[in-house]
Amino acid sequence: MSETVASTRSAETDSGPVSGAEVILENVGKRYPGQQQPAVGDLSMTINAGEIVMLVGPSGCGKTTTLKMINRLIEPTSGRIMLGGEDIIKANGDELRRRIGYVIQAGGLFPHMTVEANVKLVPNMLGWDKKKTATRTEELLDLVGLDPKVYRSRYPKELSGGQQQRVGVARALAADPPVLLMDEPFGAVDPITRQRLQDELLRIQKELRKTIIIVTHDFDEAVKLGDRIAIFRQGGEIVQYDTPEEILASPADDFVESFVGAGATLRQLTLVRVKDVPLDMPVTARIGEDKQEIARRAMQEGARDVVVVDERNRPLRWVDLRELEGSGKLAAGEDNKLKVIGEGATLNDALDTMLVSSHSSAIVVGRGNQIVGRVNVDIITNAIALLRSARNGANDDLDEMPDHDSSTRPSGARRVTR
Amino acid sequence: MIDYFQNRRSQIAYDGFQHVSLVVQCVLLATVIALVLAVLVYRSSFATQVAEGVGAVGLTIPSFALLGLLIAPFGLGVLTSVIAVTFYALLPILRNAVVGLAGVDRSLIESARGIGMSRFRTLWQIEIPLAWPVILNGIRVSTQLVMGIAAVAAYVLGPGLGGYIFEGLSRLGGSGAVPAAAVGTIGVIILAFILDVLLLLLGRLTTSRGLRV
Ligand SMILES: Nc1ncnc2c1ncn2[C@@H]1O[C@H](COP(=O)(O)OP(=O)(O)OP(=O)(O)O)[C@@H](O)[C@H]1O
Ligand SMILES: [Mg+2]
């Protein structure tokens, strides 16, 4: 293994304290009345406090059933579930669910209630006073990136799919529950929005450190979001429950292998964040600058295009050298072909974004949407090469040291090697 | 005709008011009963079918026949009218309430339960408001239907404008027959129209902006 990249996930230095609770499933089973095979046979797993665990597996294998047993929307027929040391069967079902966030596909917002009313539901049920609830609502909308002034009194139909999903997350987090359950939360939005929502979830998680359990069909999503992934087979049987790196590097059997798929190396792009690779910095220009001056600067750098930024260094659009011919000042204007991604995005996201961008590169923005660089094909190719050599290296190591370290590593210190 | 109307103005106004009052109260009562019944049956497809079947058959019973049947146990008078009118009012509302409640998106109900709403709260805050536009439509249909039925109920000495129609019919050919029947009929039509407008307005006020298309 060549060099080690800093850990890229939630457990980084600048993340908040863990506010999640540990969830333990002990020999949990669910048999629906009148069915031969149980939907979930005998499931045991421990979900560490503050981690994101992804449940993946073929359709009908019992993921949703497992998830819903944790908040007792479905009552287990056998076994025991502990939440933060408490046996959930002892709690009142409704009260239990007020303490567990629950998000379904498309957010599950109530169409006859405003955004604010939707978010306030749980605090109201818990009897919070008006003032506290109002402050909390604002805080939450801010947290999920919706301006309370603009969105508070809108109805769900007046929001985009992505915005609805955000409100769904805000509503689930309203009473600050230690555990969040999400059933295919990003299944109903387009790929670009999905990527943004995923990034946002990671950002929120970094701050809150909840215990989050997510059902997904998208293995890339599992690799991107999960601290751990549980791969299910029919009957709620767990085939492998491990970190994404482990699963990609050493799938437990053919079934997992088929899930991971042929593009394992490409998949590993999901493990590398944009901020972990050396970025290229494009030539930038401000509106109102002299065109010839800009052209001269670009020429010096050997660039054929320039990114126009605003007074706070936020990227606006691309201009070609051709457009800089002649004299005069650079005019304002925007174009939607300039594609932007956050520093926390994965190289896989970057690749997707580049494919729809006009300049075969994606602009990377940091705090306050300021430009910090760009990713282009060369950067991705380099990363793939490094991943490939690291993977081969890792496999060699594995032969010698079968007791790789997934169990002994502190959960924070693991992450990508390349 | 004009004279007939002029001479009995206050009496006609009083009877018109009585007519509307009977209809409104019976529809209100029917709405409550229909909602309770709908809530009891809508989750079971068998019970739903029974409710719909009874509803369809119920509407085919001629109102005269029903009134005739009710006279035996309840006698002549307001009570018999109220029972008959409420019965007919019930049918369209029940039908729509069942359809409306069954049509609520299952995932929303699951979402409500998932954030810790009790069954009752889910019904009251989510399912009924979402089904409300459909239920309200049932109430409108029902109101129109029983405006006419209430007129027939005058046969058992119920209050309202029906009396004029029966008066006209009984004196058919005699003087004042046509004006009497006309006052009754036109009165019912005008009041039905006004009630419908009011219900539309009520719908506007009670349906969330989030549900309007
Ligand atoms: N209410 C129910 N009654 C009877 N059987 C059910 C019920 N819900 C689920 N099942 C069965 O239990 C099994 C597991 O269902 P579950 O919904 O947990 O699957 P899943 O893994 O979430 O699938 P998907 O990826 O398609 O959502 C399936 O075989 C399904 O048919
Ligand atoms: Mg499912």
Alpha-carbon torsion (A350, A351, A354, A360), positive or negative: positive
Neighbours of A77 (CB within 10 A): 15
Kindly state whether B129 is in contact with chain A, defined as any CB-CB distance less than 8 angstroms. yes
Give the span between the Cα atoms of B63 and B131, in whole angstroms. Answer: 29
pLDDT at A306 over 70: yes
- Nearest C-alpha in B relative to A70: B114
Residue B40 Cα to chain centre, angstroms: 20
Neighbours of A139 (CB within 10 A): 13
Say how many Å lie between the first and final Cα of chain A, rounded.
6
pLDDT at A88 over 60: yes
Kindly state whether A73 is in contact with chain B, defined as any CB-CB distance less than 8 angstroms. yes
Per-residue pLDDT band for A5 (boundaries 50, 70, 90) equals very low
- Nearest C-alpha in B relative to A69: B114
Per-residue pLDDT band for A7 (boundaries 50, 70, 90) equals very low
Q: Which ligand 1 atom is the nearest neighbour of the CA of A57?
A: 21
Three-state secondary structure along chain A? CCCECCCCCCCCCCCCCCCCCCEEEEEEEECCCCCCCCCEEEEEEEECCCCEEEEECCCCCCHHHHHHHHCCCCCCCEEEEEECCEEHHHCCHHHHHHCEEEECHHHHCCCCCCHHHHHHHHHHHCCCCHHHHHHHHHHHHHHCCCCHHHHCCCCHHHCCHHHHHHHHHHHHHCCCCCEEEEECCCCCCCHHHHHHHHHHHHHHHHHHCCEEEEECCCHHHHHHHCCEEEEEECCCEEEEEECHHHHHHCCCCHHHHHHHCCCHHHHHHHHCEHHHCCCECCCEEECCCEHHHHHHHHHHHCCCEEEEECCCCCEEEEEECHHHCCCCECCCCCCCCCCEEECCCEHHHHHHHHHCCCCCEEEEECHHHCEEEEEEHHHHHHHHHHHHHHHHHHHHHHHHCCCCCCCCCCCCCCCCEC
Residue A269: per-residue pLDDT: 80
Write out the two tokens for B185: 């009929």
β-pair type (A361-365, A340-342): parallel
Q: Whole-model pTM?
A: 0.77
| Predicted confidence (pLDDT) per residue in A188-218, tens digit | 888 888 888 998 899 899 889 999 999 998 8
Q: What is the three-class DSSP state of B44?
A: coil
Write out the two tokens for A135: 């402050």
Q: Which of A77-81, A357-361, B112-116, B151-155 has the lowest mean pLDDT?
A: A357-361
Residue B175: per-residue pLDDT: 76
Per-residue pLDDT band for A268 (boundaries 50, 70, 90) equals confident
Interface-testing mutation among A102, A104, A105, A112, with chain B (most B C-beta atoms within 10 A): A112
Residue A259: per-residue pLDDT: 77
Residue A369: per-residue pLDDT: 84
| Predicted confidence (pLDDT) per residue in B23-67, tens digit | 999 999 999 999 999 999 888 888 888 888 888 888 888 888 888
Spatial CB neighbours of B131, under 8 Å, sequence gap ≥ 6: B97, B100, B101, B103, B104
Per-residue pLDDT band for A405 (boundaries 50, 70, 90) equals very low
Write out the two tokens for A222: 């599992």
Here the ipTM equals: 0.85
Q: Measured from the CB, is residue A64 less than 6 Å from ligand 1?
A: yes
Write out the two tokens for B148: 């006419």
pLDDT at A58 over 80: yes
Give the span between the Cα atoms of A361 and A374, in whole angstroms. Answer: 7
pLDDT at A416 over 50: no
Q: What is the three-class DSSP state of B76?
A: coil
Inter-chain touch A97–B118, beta carbons under 8 Å: no
pLDDT above 70 as % of chain A: 87
How much distance in Å is there from the Cα of A183 to the middle of ligand 2? 7
Alpha-carbon dihedral A194, A200, A202, A208, rounded to 10 degrees: -140
In DSSP terms, A78 is beta-bridged to A29
pLDDT above 90 as % of chain A: 44
pLDDT at B127 over 50: yes
Residue A12: per-residue pLDDT: 46
Average pLDDT value for chain B: 88
Kindly state whether B114 is in contact with chain A, defined as any CB-CB distance less than 8 angstroms. yes
In terms of pLDDT, which residue wins out, A357 or B126? B126
In terms of pLDDT, which residue wins out, A81 or B78? A81
Write out the two tokens for A132: 């506290």
- For residue B123, give the DSSP letter: I
Radius of gyration (Cα) for chain B, nearest Å?
A: 20
Inter-chain touch B210–A73, beta carbons under 8 Å: no
Spatial CB neighbours of A71, under 8 Å, sequence gap ≥ 6: A96, A97, A100, A102, A181, B114
Contact A276, A70 (CB under 8 A): no
Q: CA of B121: how far to CAs of B93, B102, B118, B128, in Å?
A: 22, 17, 5, 10
Which ligand has the minimum distance to the alpha carbon of residue A68? 1
How much distance in Å is there from the Cα of B25 to the middle of ligand 1? 47
Kindly state whether B173 is in contact with chain A, defined as any CB-CB distance less than 8 angstroms. no
Give the residue from A302, A256, A313 showing the smallest Cα distance to A280. A302
Write out the two tokens for B26: 């019976």
In terms of pLDDT, which residue wins out, A381 or A118? A118
Residue A264: per-residue pLDDT: 64
Q: Domains in chain B, ordered, with CATH? A: 2-211 (1.10.3720.10)
Per-residue pLDDT band for A392 (boundaries 50, 70, 90) equals low
Place of tokens 């009313």: A117
CB-nearest to A155 from B112, B118, B209 is: B209
Residue B197: per-residue pLDDT: 95
Give the residue from B187, B177, B190, B186 showing the smallest Cα distance to B4. B177
Q: Is A104 left (phi over 0), alpha (psi -120 to 50) or beta?
A: beta
Give the span between the Cα atoms of A217 and B18, in whole angstroms. Answer: 64
In terms of pLDDT, which residue wins out, A162 or B3? A162
Residue B36: per-residue pLDDT: 95
Give the span between the Cα atoms of A351 and A220, in whole angstroms. Answer: 13
In terms of pLDDT, which residue wins out, A328 or B193? B193
pLDDT at A359 over 80: no
Per-residue pLDDT band for A265 (boundaries 50, 70, 90) equals low
Average pLDDT rounded to a whole number, residues A12-22: 75
Residue A14: per-residue pLDDT: 60
Q: Which of A235-244, A327-336, A395-404 has the lowest mean pLDDT?
A: A395-404
Residue A260: per-residue pLDDT: 78
Residue A393: per-residue pLDDT: 58
Give the span between the Cα atoms of A177 and A190, in whole angstroms. Answer: 28
Cα angle value B202/B205/B210 (rounded, 5°): 130
